[in-house]
A and B are shown apart, each in its own frame.
Chain A
């Protein structure tokens, strides 16, 4: 089964995996862009990154000590989302519901 044909039967894996991947890379984008722009910059890409990732950051901040500065929180967010994707695939794998290795999206 190639990737294209695995999309429909495994939509319950691919859809959340895609959303988590998009969030994960947006978080990385926020870290990289944060090196160049101010926190209150009106840059529309920056504002988009902030708007998309802020809800995740709010959740992560609850489970992170307050000593962690914002940029560390963003990096933690990237790692959280990576492990969430791993957990999603591994859980489905244990339930024999996941696509095999070749079918996972990058």
Chain B
């Protein structure tokens, strides 16, 4: 499979979790308001967008950890299909809590 499809899938799952995971989004929103509120001119919309971006990226990062471990263990010099599958699956599993909201509301 073309590598780009893995990246699109990983980004898609990250985006879904960032938008629809109520628990993490609200948690991130509270902290973004404290840690970066003044930088965003106190705008709630911008704060919400950054919070969503933080959750999305954290999903992608955490999903990538098992893939990185796999690459280190096997001594691969580059990412291969297996590690990209692990990354995709890891991100998909982390997105499960948001799947209900996504299916109910949709994009």
Contacts and interface: CB of A to CB of B under 8 A. Distances in A.
Contacts of A55: none
Interface of B is mostly: helix
Contacts of B13: none
Contact of B64 (A64, A83, A104): A64
Contacts of B54: 79, 82-83
B101 interface: no
A86 B95 CA distance: 21
Interface residues of A, number: 20
A51 interface: no
- Report which residue of B57, B61, B76 has the largest number of chain A beta carbons within 10 angstroms of its beta carbon: B61
21 contacts: A63-B64, A63-B65, A64-B68, A65-B67, A65-B83, A65-B87, A66-B76, A66-B78, A66-B79, A67-B7, A67-B87, A68-B64, A76-B61, A79-B57, A82-B35, A83-B58, A85-B31, A89-B31, A104-B34, A106-B34, A106-B37
Given A67-B87, A86-B28, A86-B35, 10 more contacts: A65-B71, A65-B83, A65-B87, A67-B7, A79-B57, A79-B61, A82-B35, A101-B34, A106-B36, A106-B38
Interface of A: 21, 62-68, 75-76, 79-80, 82-83, 85-86, 89, 101, 104, 106
